[in-house]
Amino acid sequence: MNYGLEGKVAVITGAGGAICGQIAKAFAKEGVKVAIWDISQDAATEMVDEILALNGNAIAVQCDACEKGRVETAFKETLSAFGTVDILVNGAGGSRKETTTSDQLAFFDIAPQDMQSIIALNYLSAVLPSQTVGRIFAEKKSGVILNISSIAGILPLTRAISYSDGKAAVNSFTRWLAVHMAQEYSSDIRVNAIAPGFMLTKQNRFLLIDEKSGEMTERGKQVLNSVPMARYGNPEEIVGAALWLVSEMASFVTGAVIPIDGGYSAFSGV
């Protein structure tokens, strides 16, 4: 399928990771020039090497998406290499044990600064790049922003309080920014989000797989009992929706939050 993306330029934050890494490779295969923004220079460089091996065009840019100054520096570096940006994918985010309740950590004992850090990691990491890159969209009167949210932002996950709160904020921000950009700047600026369901990645493996035995944890069993398709998703299964949402095939879609979760958000438990 030809998505009509050849020659476009995309910034993808968190693209050194599993989900956005797959999106980056899919974009590159479609002829998109990709700027891999990641807090880890090594992860960004490794992803660029994979894209170059596929005959794609990509650059690695070290960036902490929660720091405005670093976002602006990364943007300047991207413009120097590619001249413009047409697509922004906000994929930086994650969770940590310090804000996840467990037998060792009660809700009452979670440190406020840890909560603030995780909410910023999942929320400000979408807001700050949207402010910086969004300026050029406003000037050009066109552009696409795609936020990588989570089903945790639709139905808060037990234990993962700050991650759920951060992703709920991303969903709200997606809808707000979609209206704002369309009304204030151009109806050709679209903002949407994808809400992935449970996937085995570095950020959640500690919850779902026992580090010592390699067996599924009780939490992992509980998760699969709540997914009608009875399996975890694969990062590759996000790609189709991402390509569609950034293409003209979705030209009348803005403010949407689309779950890709094996039916989790449609299941009441009975």
- Distance separating alpha carbons of residues 70 and 151, to the nearest angstrom: 29
Q: Which alpha helices (DSSP H) does 83-188 contain, by range?
A: 112-122, 124-140, 161-184
- Measured distance CA(187)–CA(133) in Å, rounded: 17
Number of residues in the chain: 270
What does the alpha-carbon distance between residue 129 and residue 126 come to, in Å, rounded to a whole number?
A: 6
232 assigned to active site? no
In order of 185, 199, 215, 218, 245, the CA distances from 190 in angstroms are: 11, 27, 42, 40, 9
Active-site hit among 3, 163, 185, 232: 163
Amino acid identity of residue 185, one-letter, is Y
Round to whole Å and give the CA distance between 165 and 168: 5
Residues marked active site are found at 163
